[in-house]
Structure 1
Amino acid sequence: MRVEATSKIDTLINQLDLNEHINAFKQFFSREHSLYIEGDQELHFRYIQALDAIEFNAPPKVADFTNAKLHLQKQGVLQFEQIFEFIKVVRYFRYFKNKNLSGIIGEWMEKFIIEPKFFEVEKYFTHDGKFEENLDEMLFGLGERIKEHKANISSSLKRLTSSPKISPYLIDTQVHLINDEESLLVRGGFNHVLKGAIVGRSSSGGFYVSPDVILKTKEQIRYITQEREAIFYTYAKEFSSKLAALLPFLNFIDKEFTKFDNYQARVLFAKSKNLQLIKSKKDSKIILEGFIHPALHHAKPINVDFSKNILMITGVNAGGKTMLLKSILSAAFMAKYIIPMKLNEHKSHIGSFKNILAIIDDPQNVKNDISTFAGRMQEFSRIFEYRDALVGVDEIELGTDSDEAAALFKVMLDALIVRGQKIVVTTHHKRLAALMADRDDVELMAAIYDEQNRVPTYEFMHGIIGKSYAFETASRYGIANNIVNEAKKLYGDNSEKLNILIERGSQLERELKQKHKLVDEKLESIKAKELELKEQKQMVYEELEREKKALKQSYESAINEAKQAARAGDMQAIHRAMNEANKKLPQAKKEPQIAQITEFNVGDSVKYHSKKGVIVAMKDKKEAIVEVDGMRVRVKTSQLKHTHIPHQKPKTDVNLNVQKRAGLKCDLHGMRAEEATEVLDKFISDALINGWDEVIVYHGIGTGKLSYAVKEFLKAHPKVKSFSDAPINMGGFGAKIVSL
């Protein structure tokens, strides 16, 4: 879909009175974007709907990355403020990823894998973008020296203000900061007792003087500041070099944040104003139910069915015809750009249009040097340049004889329909409406007038031609009755009879509408009861989920305590914590006894501890290699049980016991290198299955051969993240702490 020129969009927004609404919407962007989201609109809308179901914090305001990325491409040095803009986006995506969302949003967040090198830059910035000086010993020291010098300046100025020689010349005893210079406010003649530079004058004629006594200290501060700036520049250069190497990653997060920003702005704007999100469908039908134009306050909702090619709106002056036209075009515009609006999204249907065009204003003015009708002809000629457009024309016969215009515009409307246009027009004259009324592709709609109270109702009815009520409007706005009556006589009896018939038809339509309203109210009552039952069901479900969540958190808390105890090597604490965790779990149903089969073969389904897997190899009758949760484990056949289960995706088993968690230490003392690696291989496999992320291996010091074999094995093992010598109290060089 082609993106319309910005100037044309701005003109249309102004014509449709959407300026305030669009400007309010744009405030929710983190950085400036066009209204149109490039790409697959159906996919965009799926993301928006999924995001609408989630509670989340708005992203921070972020600058555009274009200039910063170009600077990095040219090996330039970025300022800290520019670097922090990248960090803000990465931190926000990390916040969103840590929510562990499911569905389409969760899948999207999984794509954000933050480069490890980025952490080397990010760690130097606080949450509000300040440089972490504590990470650099020299910077920290220089900062402390500046604080010390500033304290000395403050002390010196306080001593001066308490000096008996200077106090007669002081206007006040405050320290004033003028042009970044600490100064005292003194009267004329101060130079006999105070040496310093005048840095400003007060409105009362006093002098702001920066004393010479603090000049030396200020020079020292300036020198230290220059040292700090040189260090900051070194860091900025280093950070820019690292970011330049990460340009593909920065381009990715920039593109994805642009999409996310477009989504979140629409979602949060809709929530803030209680608006609905609706996207245009792949047809040209427009059905609006309960639509309220955003420029109107306390307005009556609009209900309109514009499924045909032409909608012709007639009826009373000042009855809302123009606003109805603007509402139809506004709804199509906002649906095209997925901008939230007020309507019943379940009963509304808005088609898709390449172009939305409006002929609303009077083109006649001094600059144009053109008549109203001639200007209208110019505007219509431009409409013929488009295809598949939604066109709105207000007061279609404006500026010329209505009878002639009726014939001309009928032919023009026919030609526009052939070009695939969909047209909504308003008119006060019934001639054109009468010419078009008997056609199947034309929908008539009339503004309703309250005869009894002699005022417009701002409501509309389908299928009729409405009176303009020119005489009634004239009387309502102060035209004398004798003038109005004379005009009625001149208008003629036959024409008046036609108006009476039109009004009688309108009255019948109103009565039918009242009956429909009663039926709708009963239906809404039934729907309200149904909704109440659904809400009660949802409340019960949410209560159940809260209980499950509380149970899970309690169990995880106990498990974490066990892990902490394990790291400290306290086996009694491990047993206590694991027993406490298992007490909080619901009692699992006992599984049926499985008959023991002494022989095992490749391909057998087996159970190892609480995990189920398949035998992929047999070393001998006593040992087998079992594939469990994507990992291969060498085990003794005496530890296996036969089972018969269908192949399915592995499920996480939380029914753990202390025996599974007890294997945190592996003692290899006295073993040969080959024997030790076999034992260590099985130990790591068991630790992975049981969920441990850190274990300890004892190998001793001795000749160093066993220590070397253990190191080489750990380096080559694909599941070992890192390892290091244990602390002195846990074995020192004779043991290894292994992270899995």
Structure 2
Amino acid sequence: MENRVLKTLEFDKIRDIVATHCTSYAGRSYMEKLVPVTDYNEVVRLLEETDEGLSILRVRGNVPMGGISDIRPHAKRAQMGGMLSAYELMETANTIRASRILRQFIEAIVADEEITIPHFIAKKEAIPILTGLEHEINGAIDDNGHVVDSASSSLRTIRQGLRMQEGRVRDKLESYTRGKNASKMLSDSIVTIRNDRFVIPVKAEYKSHYGGVIHDMSSSGQTLFIEPDAVVQANNEIRNLKMKEQEEIEKILLELSAKVQEVAHDLFTLVTILSEIDIILAKSKFGIAHKCTKPAVNNEGYIRLAKARHPLLPIEEAVANTIEFGKEITTIVITGPNTGGKTVTLKTVGLCTLMAQAGLPIPALDGSEIAVFDAVYADIGDEQSIEQSLSTFSSHMVNIVDIIKKYDDRSLIIFDELGSGTDPQEGAALAISILDEVHGHGARVMATTHYPELKAYGFNRPGVANASVEFDIDTLSPTYRLLIGVPGRSNAFEISKRLGLQERVIERAKTFTGTDRGEVDSMIASLETSRVQSEKDAEETHGILLETERLKRQLEEKLAEFDEKKEQMVAKAREKAKKIVDEARRESEAVISELRALRLNAGSNVKEHELIEARKRLEAASPAEAKKNAVKAKAAPRPLQAGDEVKVLSYGQKGTLIEKVSPTEWIVQIGILKMKLDQSGLEYSKPEKEKQTVVSASVKGRNAYVKLELDLRGERYEDAIIRTEKYLDDAILSNYHQVSIIHGKGTGALRQGVQQYLKTHSKVKNYRYGEAGEGGHGVTVVELK
């Protein structure tokens, strides 16, 4: 992409805004090089990375990126054999530490299986592991960039000797400050340092009393800072020890710098990956701040922007427009007066394209789609300028000539006020010719113009559509809404009339325009009205479609749930039936054994074949009894009536009977849908009160089974607390010592409310989060007293 186009479409301003979301200097320096890419697969990857960043921020709120420094210059100098300072080594260790924390953060997300982030995982795997170097540096240098005593045994010994020697010198000098003549001979009773040597402040007239070396004097000359003869030798020893200390520090720094040299290449890689992650997260933060979404991308030149806004305009002020072209329609010509928002519309399309190709989310609704172009060209001038001179026209033509030399069928071309700045007739003819040229060779084109001759351009050219920006005659101001398919009109007569121009002047002006012009304006006005009404109808239809799709998904989910429950119930029934049959068989065996025993012991005349027949009768008795009980348990259904609640068996969804249209068919309302269904597919569903009465009767006189867990997911806070209170009472009556409360993760509000209630419950001994196999932070395990 040409830098001139990036600046014209204000991509550089977007890049500067995104850079403010970077957390490291390295990330900001890399962001300065951000440009749109033209490879389709690369664009897909960049957008997927940004989408993963959005997912991470939504789930975790933030990403630990602190402590990262641009250590590439440090690594470069170490690579050349230079010695790094303690502070530079500390920055290196901190950056390695930041990479380690980030790696652990990504691993934790993967372990929790909250979201899928393959690109972040790949970058995590590519981060070099340099923990050994981090520990070595931290063992020698503290957080303030100072070499610590423990860096080496020699340094520890030197510093111990230095502290002892300094203590002796201070003691000796402090004895002078406490002497009987101190207040008389000293300007102040303190020990200070001048030229890296310990001295005392002596009044000028008493300098000979202490002897020694004068290192400094006050500005007034009344005070001399003297190193007495008694401590000169001791100060010399201190100076010697400090030189040894500095030599040892340099030795330690050189050793650490050599270790940095060994992994310099890994450090370059480390900074690059951390900067890439910083940029991805900056793009994601920009998307959240400006309410942007990830667009789909294609390689066919198709653009669809749903309610797109210009990202540099305030969200509350920007007017969103839906723009679609690139398939049957490949060129859009926007006509109409100035100040209507035509240029903003052009920039919105061009800028959204550049943003998407740079991996940035765009300020449009979900469902938007952007094409990947090999080049974007733009000729946009100041349409508000009153200077329409030859130089203006020439500058536009220079740009247009350059565009025509370079474009191809994989280009997006944007012309603002095409053909302006010259004679209207010649300018219009030239504009039509230029549009024919670029449109005829397959480029995607958007152009604005003042010329009325181009209003007919979209009607007699296949693949071309007219468009205009809506103008409110009542308020004499543009609405900035784009109307595709409707050419613009000047509205000069209407505006003049509302501003007070006499009617006779306006009527005379109309006679000069001709009949055809009036008919065209009337046609355009009618088109505008029809377009506005059709958009309203489309929005209502879209809302109904979304509701229908939602209901369809809900019905399909309920049907799948019903099928699953049905299979489970059938399996349970088979298992229960098997248990009944096995029990009956065991009983029959016991009966036969008793009969045989009677025959043997009592000399009974019972025959073996009679025993076999008895066994068969016993085996046949259980199924018959089960069938009898089943028939007895199932009550005959009552006739269906209008207003009854029924279950639609084919959908697994509840509905209400509206009207019986034939002996076997009913009109049934399910949600917002009404449909005609056969009575055989309907089952009467008892109202809630009736169900509660039946349930109460069925459990009366016996205790209901209390589960070991309570599922509160989807409950409102107040209902959840009431259910928790009742459940704990039931669990305590059932002598449970431990139960689980499932509240899910979500926002954490339900979890906090439940745990706050558990704190105040007198029978709760303790509570904790569930282990990994128990549900993690989505479950609270409660220990009862």
TM-score by length of 2: 0.57
AA aligned opposite 2:426? E
Partners of 2:357 and 2:782 lie apart in 1 by 53
Q: Secondary structure at the match of 2:745?
A: helix
Does the 8 Å contact 2:43/2:356 carry over to 1?
Answer: no
1: CA distance, partners of 2:162 / 2:78: 33
Residue 275 of structure 1, aligned match among 277, 281, 292: 292
Q: 2: distance between equivalents of 1:380 and 1:457?
A: 30
Query: Per the alignment, do residues 116 and 338 of structure 1 end up closer, same or farther by CA in structure 2, a change over 3 Å counting?
Result: closer
- Residue in 2 aligned with 1:306? 325
How far is 1:524 from its partner? 6.8
* CA distance in 2: counterparts of 1:261 and 1:487, whole angstroms: 66
Residue 446 of structure 1 and its aligned partner are, at CA, apart by: 1.0
Stretches of structure 1 that go unaligned for 5 or more consecutive residues are 201-205, 557-582, 586-740
Distance in 2 (alpha carbons) for counterparts of 1:144 and 1:330:
66
Query: Per chain length, whose mean CA-contact separation is higher, i.e. which structure has more relative contact order (CA < 8 Å, sep 6+)?
Result: 2
- State the alpha-carbon separation in 1 of the partners of residues 450 and 98 from structure 2: 56
Separation of aligned partners in 1, 2:195 and 2:442 = 68
From the superposition, tell whether residues 174 and 398 of structure 1 become closer, same or farther in structure 2 (CA, over 3 Å). farther
Letter in 2 for 1:48: T
Q: Structure 1 residues 510 and 74, CA, compared in 2 at 3 Å: closer, same or farther?
A: same
1:95 pairs with 2:86: no
Q: Which residue of 2 aligns with 1:606?
A: none
In structure 1, the partner of 2:277 is: 260
2:468 corresponds in structure 1 to 446
Residue 353 of structure 2 aligns with an amino acid whose one-letter code is A
Shift of 1:515: 2.9
Q: 1:448: Cα distance to partner?
A: 0.6
Q: How far apart, CA to CA, are the structure 2 residues paired with 1:487 and 1:265?
A: 61
Choose 214-223 or 60-69, whichever is displaced more.
214-223
Cα deviation 1:174-202 (Å, max 9, x = unaligned):
99999999999x9xx985689873687xx
Q: What RMSD over aligned residues (CA atoms) do the two structures have, in Å?
A: 5.2
Which residue number corresponds to residue 22 of structure 1?
A: 15
Structure 1 distance, partners of 2:552, 2:149, is 61
State the Cα deviation string for residues 214-254 of structure 1 (Å, max 9, x = none).
99799887766554443332222212222222244334424
Residue deviations 1:108-135 (CA, integer Å, cap 9, x gap): 4345452565345343344565544444
Q: For 1:315-340, what per-residue CA distance to the aligned partner results, in whole angstroms no more than 9, with x for missing partners?
A: 24211111111111110011010123
| Aligned equivalents of 2:509, 2:167: Cα separation in 1 | 91
For residues 124 and 503 of structure 2, the distance between their equivalents in structure 1, rounded to whole angstroms, comes to 75
Deviations 1:676-723 (A, max 9, x none): xxxxxxxxxxxxxxxxxxxxxxxxxxxxxxxxxxxxxxxxxxxxxxxx
Taking the TM superposition and a 5 Å limit, the aligned residue runs for 1:225-236 are 226-236=243-253
CA distance in 2, matches of 1:208, 1:405: 90
Q: Which amino acid aligns with 2:436?
A: D
Q: Note if contact 2:137-2:256 (Cα within 8 Å) is conserved in structure 1.
A: no
1:59 to 40, 43, 65: 65
The aligned counterpart of 1:700 is none
One of 520, 527, 539 as aligned partner of 1:498: 520
The residue number in structure 1 matching 2:760 is none
CA 1:432–1:221 in 2, change beyond 3 Å: closer, same or farther? farther
Determine the structure 2 residue equivalent to 1:401: 423
Q: Matched residue of 2:258: which SS? A: helix
Relative to 1, partners in 2 of residues 1:350 and 1:199: Cα closer, same or farther, differing over 3 Å?
Answer: farther
Cα distance change of structure 1 residues 261 and 364 upon mapping to structure 2, 3 Å threshold: same
Match status 1:350 vs 2:370: yes
In 1, Cα distance between the equivalents of 2:206 and 2:493?
Answer: 92
Residue of structure 1 equivalent to 2:357: 336
Contact 1:69/1:247 (<8 A) preserved: yes
In structure 1, what is the equivalent of residue 48 of structure 2? 46
Are 1:363 and 1:372, in contact at CA under 8 Å, matched by a contact in 2? no
Tell me which of 79, 100, 104 is aligned to 2:85: 79
Question: What is the alpha-carbon distance in structure 2 between the residues aligned to residue 61 and residue 475 of structure 1?
Answer: 66
CA–CA distance in 2 between the matches of 1:541 and 1:258? 35
Unaligned 5+ segments in structure 2 are 111-115, 208-213, 558-711, 716-741, 752-766
| Secondary structure class of the residue paired with 2:129 | coil
Given that residues 183 and 209 in structure 1 are in contact (C-alpha distance below 8 angstroms), is that contact kept between their aligned partners in structure 2?
no
Kept in 2, the 8 Å contact 1:314–1:468? The answer is no
Task: Give the 5 Å matches for 1:692-731.
Answer: none
- Deviation, 1:86, is 3.8
> Match for residue 635 of structure 1?
none
- The structure whose Rg is larger is 2
CA distance in structure 1 between the aligned counterparts of 2:221 and 2:546, rounded to whole angstroms? 78
**Residues 314 and 428, structure 1, Cα contact 8 Å, conserved in 2:** yes
* Distance in 1 separating the partners of 2:222 and 2:346: 67
Tell me how far apart the structure 2 counterparts of residues 553 and 259 of structure 1 sit (CA, whole Å).
36
Q: Is the 8 A contact 2:416 2:448 kept in 1?
A: yes
Q: Distance in 1 between matches of 2:551 and 2:242?
A: 71
CA separation in 2, counterparts of 1:227 and 1:482?
101
Task: Indicate the SS of the match to 2:345.
Answer: helix
Task: Kindly indicate which of the two structures has a greater share of residues assigned to helix.
Answer: 2
1:552-573 deviation line (CA, Å, top 9, x unaligned): 49999xxxxxxxxxxxxxxxxx
What's the TM-score, normalizing by structure 1? 0.60
Aligned-residue offset at 1:147: 8.0
Shift of 1:383: 0.4
Q: 1:37 to 1:363 in 2, by over 3 A?
A: closer
Change (3 A) 1:116 1:543: closer
CA distance in 1 between partners of 2:400 and 2:267 (Å): 48
**Alignment match, 2:770:** 550
Please say which of residues 277-286 and 220-229 is displaced more in the overlay. 220-229
Given the superposition, is the C-alpha separation of residues 224 and 493 from structure 1 closer, same or farther in structure 2, using an over 3 Å criterion? farther
Rounded to whole Å, the distance in 2 between the matches of 1:143 and 1:530 is: 80
Quick one: distance in 2 between partners of 1:122 and 1:386? 55
Q: Write the deviation string for residues 18-43 of structure 1: whole angstroms up to 9, x where unpaired.
A: 55432121123321111148883333
Q: By how many angstroms is 1:12 displaced?
A: 3.5
Match of 1:385 in 2: 405
Q: Does 1:315 align with 2:336?
A: yes
When structure 1 is superposed on structure 2, of 323-332 and 17-26 the one drifting more is: 17-26
Amino acid at match of 1:45: L
2:684 aligns to what?
Answer: none
Per the alignment, in what secondary structure is the counterpart of residue 123 of structure 1?
helix
Residues 62, 89 of structure 1: 8 Å contact kept: yes
Q: Tell me the distance in 1 between the aligned counterparts of 2:489 and 2:149.
A: 78
Residue 745 of structure 2 aligns with an amino acid whose one-letter code is: E
SS of equivalent to 1:328? helix
**1:78: Cα distance to partner?**
3.1
Question: Is the 8 Å Cα contact of residues 383 and 417 (structure 2) preserved in structure 1?
Answer: no
Aligned pairs for 1:503-652 within 5 A:
503-520=525-542, 541-542=744-745, 550-552=770-772
Answer yes or no: is the 8 Å Cα contact 2:193–2:199 preserved in 1.
Answer: yes
Offset at residue 470 of structure 1 (A): 4.2
Quick one: which amino acid aligns to residue 309 of structure 1?
T
Deviation for aligned residue 1:140: 5.2
Question: What do the CA deviations read for 1:455-478 (whole angstroms, capped 9, x no partner)?
Answer: 2111121101011334556788x8
- The Cα of 1:156 is off from its aligned counterpart by 7.2
Contact 2:333–2:465 (Cα < 8 Å) also in 1:
yes
Q: Which residue among 384, 391, 394 is the counterpart of 1:371?
A: 391
Using a 3 Å threshold, how does the CA distance of structure 1 residues 13 and 528 change in structure 2: closer, same or farther? farther
2:311 is equivalent to residue 289 of structure 1: no
Identical-pair percentage: 18
Q: Which sits farther off after the overlay, 446-455 or 125-134? A: 125-134
Label 1:180 to 1:427 Cα distance change in 2 as closer, same or farther (>3 A). farther
CA distance in structure 1 between the partners assigned to 2:192 and 2:334 by the alignment: 71
Query: 2:237, 2:347 → 1: CA distance?
Result: 68
| 1:372 shift after superposition | 1.5
Q: Secondary structure of 2:483's match?
A: strand
Q: Return the offset for 1:370.
A: 6.0
Cα deviation for residue 96 of structure 1 reads 2.3
Instruction: State how far apart, in whole Å, the 1-side matches of 2:465 and 2:268 are.
Output: 51
Compared CA separation, residues 244 and 295, structure 1 to 2 (3 A)? same
2: CA distance between counterparts of 1:393 and 1:183? Answer: 80
Does the 8 Å contact 1:430/1:465 carry over to 2? no
